[in-house]
Amino acid sequence: MKQSSRTAMPREGMQPSATSASLRIGYHSRKSDLLIRAIIWGFVGSIFGGLYIGFIGMLIPSIAGNWVIIPAAAFAGAVGAAFYGSFQVAIIGTLAGAASGIGYLIVAENGQLSEMSAVSLVAGVVAGFIYGNTHREVSGALMKALTGLVAGALAGSLLWLSLWVGAVLNSFFSALILVPITGAFYVSGTYRLTDRLACRLPLPMVGSLVAALLSVVIAGSIWSVHEAMLASYQLAASTTEPAALIRTLGSILGGAIGGMVAGGLFARVGLKWQDAGRYRLDSGDDLVERVSEVP
């Protein structure tokens, strides 16, 4: 009996060290999650910032005044959410847009943006349809893009309201503000508004819609770069081009910083990657299981 009591003492003494080791592991895990979250959100934020200023330039001829902020933020939020939540589909759409856009510029003698957009749209639809037929990961892509669309529109509305009351913000601070607000809406509520629509559509259709959207956006970006390069070789180039470049770089930088700060803060306070959780489909169309995200 004495022998057994002696052997039991060291085992009890080991418990505090095991607890401290587990605490250290948990601490390093939280630090690692914070760093990873900040990097990913910074990357998505830079995409958002570049797309936001690009959509501003595309939409401003047809939408007057500061109202252009709302659709530009909404579209940028949709594309950013597709990259954040459905990376495989985003890669497919990006490759389709890049290949079709560059191919069109090589083949066409007098290219037109409308023709290039149509070619990229078809390429995205075909690529997304094929991918959706062979991969089930596409199931939530449209829902996430729609969630980003709603979140971006809400964030853009708040920014428009701040400008309406007299605030003056350049492209850097606009993106710096928009990215965290859009992300907060994305992870904390708007998910519930769009989940059933995305889950009830056939997977090939979901893949086609999301890949087509991304393909057209990427092709439009290639067209913009192409036009800027052509203009740079012209002697009568506009003096506003350096200012446009500064606005674009400022928006990308502001989005990246805003994303990194927001991602780190969300990880710090324990906010989940997507607070409403993810949904998984069975062979039918109904939602059968809700899988919570790891905080």
> What phi, psi does 280 have (nearest 5°)?
-120, 140
Instruction: Tell me: pLDDT of 59 over 50.
Output: yes
Instruction: Tell me: pLDDT of 117 over 90.
Output: no
pLDDT band for position 276 (50/70/90)?
very low
Instruction: Tell me: pLDDT of 283 over 50.
Output: no
**Mean of the per-residue pLDDT values for the chain?**
75
pLDDT band for position 289 (50/70/90)?
very low
Residue predicted with more confidence, 179 or 220: 179
User: Which residue ranges make up each domain of the chain?
Assistant: 34-273+287-291
Per-residue model confidence as pLDDT tens digits over 129-174: 888 888 776 767 777 888 888 999 999 999 999 999 988 888 899 9
